[in-house]
């Protein structure tokens, strides 16, 4: 794994965030940091994504910022130029992977099947996003799909349908690097300026990760 993904593994949870307005970037970052969660995946699902990443990386360097929902080469280029430390995609697209290589962006493609995982391994990657984790079969499905590849040291970031109540099941799998979750910084809380709630959820998630690891 790269240093960036090692740091992601140390934190254990990736808040997945679709932020609509640039003005909310810094209050969001401060809410996460106050909650002890110095990590954010800003998804390219809104026009504000690239500018938000640029603001966060420039003004809150203590926050590890990645780019999510990278669906084409242009979004990879924008992510890198904005300062994103890593990129994630919902699926495996060779063109997106080529762009990540070209722009030297630490990248994890999305996988859901053994075939997806075979393609990922063939490209020399050792981190992948398991998506959509919930409807793809849950922790048992990931354990089964990844079993033939376990000797290669593959690690995963399951995302999609994970909640604060189910995250423990995922984090107890040794192949899970971190979990991705949308519940920590929900769109409605960002829109309504409810950053205190985001801080509370971030702190609770971070504490839960630590408790799970202490019990392991």
Residue 129 among the catalytic residues: yes
Given the residues 6, 23, 41, 169, select the one marked as catalytic: 41
Q: Report H helices in 60-122.
A: 73-82, 94-102, 114-122
> Cα–Cα distance between 191 and 193 in angstroms, integer?
6
Mapped onto helix, strand or coil, the DSSP state of residue 39 is: strand
> Cα–Cα distance between 148 and 152 in angstroms, integer?
9
Residues 171, 122: contact at Cβ < 8 Å?
no
Given the residues 6, 23, 129, 214, select the one marked as catalytic: 129
Give 95's Cβ-side CA count (13 Å radius). 6
Q: Active-site positions?
A: 41, 129
């Amino acid at each position: 794994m790269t240093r960036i993904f090692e740091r992601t593994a140390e934190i254990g949870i990736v808040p997945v965030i679709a932020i609509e307005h640039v003005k909310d970037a810094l209050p969001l970052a401060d809410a996460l940091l106050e909650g002890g969660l110095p990590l954010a995946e800003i998804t390219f699902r809104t026009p504000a994504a690239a500018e938000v990443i640029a603001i966060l990386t420039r003004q809150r360097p203590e926050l590890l910022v990645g780019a999510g929902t990278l669906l084409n080469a242009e979004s990879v280029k924008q992510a890198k130029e904005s300062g994103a430390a890593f990129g994630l995609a919902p699926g495996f697209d060779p063109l997106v992977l080529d762009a990540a290589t070209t722009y030297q962006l630490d990248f994890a493609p999305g996988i859901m099947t053994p075939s997806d995982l075979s393609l990922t391994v063939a490209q020399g990657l050792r981190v992948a996003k398991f998506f959509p984790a919930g409807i793809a079969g849950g922790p048992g499905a990931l354990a089964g799909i990844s079993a033939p590849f376990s000797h290669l040291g593959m690690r995963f970031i399951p995302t999609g349908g994970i909640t604060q109540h189910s995250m423990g099941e995922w984090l107890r799998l040794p192949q899970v690097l971190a979990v991705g979750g949308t519940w920590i910084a929900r769109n409605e809380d960002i829109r309504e300026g409810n950053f205190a709630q985001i801080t509370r959820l971030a702190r609770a998630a971070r504490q839960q990760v630590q408790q799970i690891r202490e019990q392991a």
